[in-house]
Every structure is written in structure tokens, then in C-alpha cells.
């Protein structure tokens, strides 16, 4: 399944590293949501990506956005990874059934059993406002994401 800009974002309910349920619909009308899909905790490129996100969190917060990381790792892996990386935003466990949420967004790589690398911005109205897929070995350009988020924020202001 694939999704496109302008379409309603599929809702989901997944546990984060604190075993709290996080739903996309919880942010409806309140915040834009940046969904960061990444293959696996602990891999070198993902670690670089999250280090960049941690460094850019102030920018995302000023843009009125909630950042949610998503991979097929378990809650326990996410907890250890978040502690090691000093990650304060939610890492969602798309663990069981494996990749079901990523599948709804068209970013689950069935042949590899992992989430692809993609960033999707969902606006306050619950619609896909921006999306980009990346090659697995590429760290996304967060300045590009912040610029897109700035446009989304301006459009809903």
C-alpha cells in the first residue's frame, strides 16, 4: 500500500519505549507530527540519524511538532536505545504484527523484514503534508525536514 500527500494519515496505536500507548489521533488539532521511519535501533546510520534529531529537537519543538520514531524493534530495545542515545521523543514499537503500521504508510520492506527509511509529516488536520523516502544508507537531511515543517506550520497558521 502506498500513501500520498493530501491523503488522510492512517491512525495507529503503538507502545513507546516507556510502554505508553501513542496514537496519531492524540495529536489531531494540537500538533503536527514528524514520523521518522528507520530500519533498526543500534545500526550505524540510524544512530547517526537519531543523534542529528536529538541535536535538532529545539528546532522541531519551535515548529510545533511532535517527533515519533518508528521501527520494528521491541519496546525493550527502544528503551535501551533511547537511554543510550539520550532520546526524549517516543520511539514506537511496530513489533507485533511486525511492520503493520509501516505497511499502512507504504514503508515496510517485506523482503528484509524491516522498516524502510522515510520521513512523513502529518499536519494538525491529520493529513499527509510532506513525505520523503531515503535509501537505507542515507542519513536524512533534517534541515530539509525542518524547512518542510516550517511550510506546514505556515499553511495551518
Active site residues: 46
Rounded-to-integer distance, Cα 77 and Cα 112, Å: 19
Strands (DSSP E) contained in 8-154 are 13-15, 21-23, 32-37, 65-71, 90-93, 108-109, 114-115, 117-122, 128-134
| Residues contacting residue 18 through CB under 8 Å, at least 6 positions apart | 79, 90
Q: Whole-angstrom distance between the N-terminal and C-terminal Cα of the chain?
A: 31
What distance lies between CA 84 and its chain's CA centroid?
19
What distance lies between CA 57 and its chain's CA centroid?
13
Amino acid at each position: 500500500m502506498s500513501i500520498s500527500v493530501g491523503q488522510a494519515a492512517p491512525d495507529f496505536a503503538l507502545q513507546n519505549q516507556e510502554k505508553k500507548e501513542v496514537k496519531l489521533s492524540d495529536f489531531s488539532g494540537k500538533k503536527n507530527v514528524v514520523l521518522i521511519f528507520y530500519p533498526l535501533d543500534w545500526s550505524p546510520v540510524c544512530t547517526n540519524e537519531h543523534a542529528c534529531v536529538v541535536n535538532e529537537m529545539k528546532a522541531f519543538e519551535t515548529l510545533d511538532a511532535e517527533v515519533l520514531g518508528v521501527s520494528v524493534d521491541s519496546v525493550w530495545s527502544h528503551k535501551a536505545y533511547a537511554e543510550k542515545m539520550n532520546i526524549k521523543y517516543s520511539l514506537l514499537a511496530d513489533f507485533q504484527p511486525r511492520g503493520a503500521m509501516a505497511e499502512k504508510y507504504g514503508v515496510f520492506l517485506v523482503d528484509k523484514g524491516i522498516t524502510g527509511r522515510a520521513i512523513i509529516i502529518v499536519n494538525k488536520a491529520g493529513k499527509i503534508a510532506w513525505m520523503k523516502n531515503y535509501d537505507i544508507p542515507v542519513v536524512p537531511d533534517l534541515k530539509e525536514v525542518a524547512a518542510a515543517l516550517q511550510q506546514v506550520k505556515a499553511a495551518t497558521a
